[in-house]
């Protein structure tokens, strides 16, 4: 019995010693890694900006700091993380979400409304909200970004902030948000790749200057789908160095239509190629589908561009190539454009024109447009226009299928059996 009792005591002493040692080795709760910190529950990777002092009653600068603090915490997560902006209206100053992050997937769940400072001088840099060098980023949530651009629109300067800019972002999606009344472009992409934009609304009054819906430059493999855009400038503008873009299901108007360019304004611009625009509607715009380059431009190229299945309603110049683009008399020369435009297709474009010239292909005398195709064009004049015509200058190409107005290309130039009589539909309504 004495031996058994002694063995029991030895075993008990050993167990207590082991338990004590384990307790000393466990870290205290307040020393846990930021990579799992969030709204207060360890192990969750959701970062609510209000837990970092963002408030609907807070100042723009205070909220910007809170948003940035939440982002910095999320950026440390090695896996997926979410930054939550709950419902409510938050004033927000300039902010840049700068990557790269440890993880490969950050979701910005914007459920509330973000308001920019009304004065553009309070937003330094190129953009109000910028995403830089992020990989597999997601922006969503149903929220609204209010650019407060009313006081900026009358200003002649282009030194105004973009509402939402993506720079050097690779793979990601932006969906289910709205941006209104931007001071400058509503959205812009620069040196980005593999981004998808869908189910977005971008809006500003028709007289708001330079408020393009989406502007792309030096970006590739971009998809734009089901976007509702009505602004004071191009619904979508595709700038130099942009390749492999698919645009579909866009509702455009008012505004200046869907444009390639402007191109050739600066030396050393990269080429534009492989752009496919389909299944879109353009209503009440000052241009339809357009390619534009500046006179006297340095040499570059725009090629392999397709516009198809586009419906126009009450549109000025539904189809246009303009190589003498000179807005507001800003040209410093009237020398011919050196941008080479080739392999362009306009297919299945129908609707109404409110200008006598419905198809205008005005190319450079130094670098005439090559292989321009018009296929199944069915445009009619609005009631305010007696008849519509086509105008071709320095362009080589051909036509096929229905042609209205009479084509100005190929062997069938000036020959068409399609009616060009005025539409009896009232302005803003399709015939």
- Could you give the CA distance from residue 143 to residue 89 in angstroms, rounded to a whole number? 10
Is 256 among the catalytic positions? yes
HSE-CB at 408 with a 13 A cutoff on CA atoms is 17
Whether residue 69 has a cis bond before it, omega within 30° of 0: no
- Could you give the CA distance from residue 134 to residue 75 in angstroms, rounded to a whole number? 10
Which secondary-structure segment (H or E) carries 329? none
On whether the CB atoms of residues 86 and 64 are closer than 8 A, the answer is no
What's the token pair of residue 386?
A: 């007696």
CA–chain centroid gap for 401, Å, is 34
What's the token pair of residue 378?
A: 């069915």
Please report, for residues 36, 108, 340, 388, the alpha-carbon distance to residue 30 in angstroms, rounded to integers and kept in the order given: 12, 27, 64, 75
Choose, from 135, 158, 256, 396, the residue flagged as catalytic. 256
120 SS3 class: helix
- Could you give the CA distance from residue 277 to residue 214 in angstroms, rounded to a whole number? 14
CA–chain centroid gap for 155, Å, is 23
What's the token pair of residue 119?
A: 């004065």
CB-count exposure of residue 149 (10 Å: 0-12, 13-18, 19+):
buried
What b/e string do you get for 150-161 counting C-beta neighbours within 10 Å, with b at 16 or more?
A: eebbeeeeeebb
- Could you give the CA distance from residue 20 to residue 2 in angstroms, rounded to a whole number? 27
- Would you please indicate which residues are annotated as catalytic (active-site) residues? 256
């Amino acid at each position: 019995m004495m031996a058994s009792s002694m063995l029991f005591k030895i075993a008990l002493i050993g167990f207590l010693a082991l338990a004590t040692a384990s307790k000393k080795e466990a870290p205290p709760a307040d020393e846990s890694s930021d990579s799992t910190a969030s709204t207060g529950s360890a192990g969750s990777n959701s970062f609510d900006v209000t837990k970092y002092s963002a408030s609907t009653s807070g100042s723009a600068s205070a909220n910007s700091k809170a948003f940035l603090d939440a982002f910095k915490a999320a950026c440390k997560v090695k896996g997926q993380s979410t930054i939550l902006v709950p419902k409510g209206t938050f004033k927000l100053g300039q902010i840049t979400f700068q990557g790269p992050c440890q993880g490969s997937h950050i979701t910005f769940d914007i459920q509330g409304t973000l308001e920019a400072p009304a004065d553009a001088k309070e937003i330094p840099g190129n953009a109000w909200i910028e995403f830089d060098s992020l990989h597999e980023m997601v922006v969503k949530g149903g929220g609204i970004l209010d650019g407060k651009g009313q006081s900026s629109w009358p200003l002649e300067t282009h030194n105004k902030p973009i509402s939402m800019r993506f720079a050097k972002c690779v793979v990601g999606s932006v969906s289910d948000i709205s941006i209104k009344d931007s001071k400058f472009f509503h959205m812009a992409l620069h040196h980005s790749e593999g981004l998808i934009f869908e189910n977005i609304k971008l809006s500003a009054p028709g007289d708001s200057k330079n408020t393009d819906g989406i502007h792309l430059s030096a970006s590739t493999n971009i998809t734009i789908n089901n976007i509702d855009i009505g602004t004071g400038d191009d619904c979508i503008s595709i700038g130099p160095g942009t390749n492999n873009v698919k645009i579909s299901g866009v509702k455009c108007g008012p505004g200046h239509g869907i444009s390639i360019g402007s191109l050739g304004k600066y030396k050393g611009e990269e080429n534009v190629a492989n752009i496919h625009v389909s299944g879109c509607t353009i209503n009440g715009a000052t241009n339809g589908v357009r390619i534009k380059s500046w006179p006297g431009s340095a040499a570059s190229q725009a090629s392999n561009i397709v516009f198809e299945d586009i419906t126009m309603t009450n549109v000025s110049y539904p189809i246009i190539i303009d190589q003498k683009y000179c807005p507001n008399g800003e040209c410093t020369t009237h020398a011919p454009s050196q941008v080479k435009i080739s392999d362009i297709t306009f297919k299945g474009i129908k609707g109404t024109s409110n200008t006598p010239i419905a198809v205008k292909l005005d190319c450079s005398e130094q670098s005439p447009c090559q292989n321009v195709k018009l296929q199944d064009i069915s445009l009619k004049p609005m009631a305010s226009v007696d008849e519509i015509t086509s105008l071709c200058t320095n362009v080589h190409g051909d036509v096929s299928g229905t042609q209205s107005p009479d084509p100005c290309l190929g062997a069938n130039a000036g020959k068409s059996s399609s009616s060009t009589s005025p539409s009896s539909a009232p302005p803003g309504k399709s015939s």
